[in-house]
């Protein structure tokens, strides 16, 4: 792969891979277990919405050669930027706690030890690896997340009813738990932190003197998100057949969706969840660090030496440990936290999409406005998330 093509595709592939993190896997499992195939249409529709959102984030970053928080501060003022970054940090913090607990739960399952013993050592090791140089690590983790493709085989081997599958592709609405599941599905599919991460990564590639053409970046966004949502759809289908309306109560129970693969199922589940969690945790902490550094004008970037970007790395490390430690509080339930963190992301989504639509069509930020399809699906995504949030709260 050429350096130019890698610069256009890699950020979106990493964004897509991080999207199927433990919170995403658990949310898709709960969606399949509680609503069957009834939200497959929403998942299919979310693919172009996610690609549009990611493309908008990338276009703004490429045009301004700065991250989203910096551009928002210049266009809307420090107060608005502070509010958005604060909400982002809150949502990211809860997801870091949930993902840390999930990765630790898998390690506890594999070793037979209490999962709480692994949370802080895991975060310490991850922080040390990132500080030593994140580039090779994220590429290796991206490859390992392909273990989640096992859900495709499990979905086929589960022999879902074809008529029910087709019915699930027809748009229809529900109420109560259905609405909460829909909000969680949108929140994990189009996570706000991924958009800030995508913008930060695009700027990182530019700083490495990689020429990224907006049209190719849009295409890279589509393929990265299509890959992510293909796995998500397989998780929903496999879980709908495996759980029959009774969602898993623990992270480990979610592995039952891969039962059609026999002894390989738990192994692939463990590999995929560990890799996606280790890929997502730096992405979550990095998204917050990018936003905070941009807000306060600090040097930033995981490609920058820690000594040259102390503030950025301080936010990064504090985000990992401070939020990860929440998982050790009494009464913290990893499986519930994974799902609820994505419902919170879904509630934040309308604001994030509105900001992106504004910035990516502002001629003072970009030379040309978005393609029609990007605006169409950006507006549609914001309206769907807003309707789900209002319905869930009413």
How do the domains of the chain map onto residue ranges? 3-393
- CA 219 to chain CA centroid, Å, is 19
pTM of the predicted protein model: 0.87
Q: What's the CATH number for 3-393?
A: 1.20.1740.10
- What confidence score (pLDDT) does residue 205 get? 67
Contact 165, 237 (CB under 8 A): yes
For helices 68-76 and 264-295, angle between their N-to-C axes, nearest 10 degrees: 40
Query: Of 95, 89, 93, which Cα lies nearest the Cα of 26?
Result: 95
Q: Which of 18, 26, 35 is nearest to 335 (CA)?
A: 26
| Nearest Cα to Cα of residue 56 among 261, 196, 205, 166 | 196
Whole-number Å distance between alpha carbons of 331 and 2: 49
Q: How far is CA 352 from CA 14, 133, 156, in A?
A: 20, 30, 36
Asked if residues 257 and 54 have their Cβ atoms less than 8 Å apart, the reply is no
Residue 65, pLDDT score:
83
CA distances from 90 to 70, 78, 86, 87 (A): 19, 18, 6, 5
- Residue 262's alpha-carbon distances to 181, 251, 258, 259, 266, in angstroms, are 29, 18, 8, 5, 8
Helix (H) or strand (E) holding 184: helix 177-189
DSSP letters spanning 287-347: HHHHHHHHHTT----TTS-GGG-HHHHHHHHHHHHHHHGGGGSTT--HHHHHHHHHHHHHH
Beta strands in 184-322 (DSSP E): none
For residue 350, give every residue at least 6 positions away whose Cβ sits within 8 Å of its Cβ, in sequence order, or none. 382, 383, 385, 386, 389
Give me the half-sphere count of Cα atoms (radius 13 Å) on the Cβ side of residue 4.
5
pLDDT of residue 212: 47
SS3 267: helix
- In angstroms, the CA 250 to CA 305 distance is 39
Q: Are 284 and 55 in contact (CB under 8 A)?
A: no
Planar angle of CA 185, 188, 189, nearest 5 degrees? 80
State the Cα–Cα distance between residues 41 and 208, nearest whole angstrom. 39
pLDDT tens, residue order, the chain (394 aa)? 444 434 444 555 555 555 678 988 999 999 999 999 999 999 999 888 988 898 898 889 888 888 899 999 999 999 999 999 999 999 999 999 999 999 999 999 999 999 999 999 999 888 888 877 766 666 776 677 778 889 999 999 999 999 999 999 998 877 777 888 899 999 888 888 878 877 777 777 666 655 545 454 455 556 666 778 888 999 999 999 999 878 899 999 999 999 999 999 999 999 989 988 888 888 889 889 989 998 998 888 777 788 888 899 999 999 999 999 999 999 899 989 999 999 999 999 999 999 999 999 999 999 888 899 999 999 999 999 999 888 877 7
């Amino acid at each position: 792969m050429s350096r130019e093509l890698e610069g256009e595709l890699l950020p979106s592939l990493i964004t897509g891979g991080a999207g199927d993190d433990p919170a995403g896997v658990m949310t898709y499992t709960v969606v399949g277990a509680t609503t069957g195939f009834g939200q497959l249409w929403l998942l299919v529709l979310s693919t172009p919405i996610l690609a549009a959102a990611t493309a908008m984030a990338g276009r703004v970053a490429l045009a301004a050669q700065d991250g989203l928080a910096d551009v928002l501060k210049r266009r809307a003022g420090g107060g608005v930027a502070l509010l958005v970054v604060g909400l982002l940090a809150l949502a990211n913090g809860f997801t870091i706690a949930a993902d840390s607990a999930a990765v630790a739960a898998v390690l506890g399952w594999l070793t037979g030890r209490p999962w709480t013993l692994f949370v802080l050592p895991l975060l310490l090791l991850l922080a040390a690896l990132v500080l030593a140089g994140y580039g090779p690590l994220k590429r290796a983790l991206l490859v390992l997340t392909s273990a989640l493709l096992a859900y495709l085989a499990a979905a086929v081997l589960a022999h879902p009813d074809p008529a029910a599958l087709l019915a699930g592709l027809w748009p229809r609405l529900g109420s109560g738990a259905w609405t909460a599941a829909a909000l969680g599905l949108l929140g994990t599919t189009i996570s706000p932190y991924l958009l800030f991460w995508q913008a930060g990564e695009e700027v990182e590639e530019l700083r490495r003197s990689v020429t990224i053409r907006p049209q190719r970046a849009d295409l890279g966004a589509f393929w990265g998100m299509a890959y992510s949502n293909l796995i998500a759809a397989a998780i929903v289908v496999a879980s709908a057949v495996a759980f029959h309306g009774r969602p898993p109560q623990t992270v480990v129970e979610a592995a039952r969706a891969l039962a059609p693969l026999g002894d390989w199922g738990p192994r692939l589940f463990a590999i995929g969840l560990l890799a996606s969690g280790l890929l997502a945790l730096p992405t979550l902490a990095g998204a917050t660090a990018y936003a905070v550094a941009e807000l306060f004008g600090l040097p930033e970037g995981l490609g920058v030496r820690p000594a040259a970007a102390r503030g950025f790395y301080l936010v990064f490390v504090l985000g990992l440990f401070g939020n990860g430690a929440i998982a050790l509080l009494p009464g913290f339930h990893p499986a519930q936290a994974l799902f609820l963190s994505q419902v919170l992301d879904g509630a934040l989504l309308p604001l994030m999409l509105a900001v992106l639509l504004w910035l990516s069509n502002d001629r003072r930020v970009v030379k040309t406005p978005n393609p029609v399809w990007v605006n169409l699906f950006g507006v549609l995504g914001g309206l769907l998330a807003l309707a789900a949030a209002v319905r869930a709260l009413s």
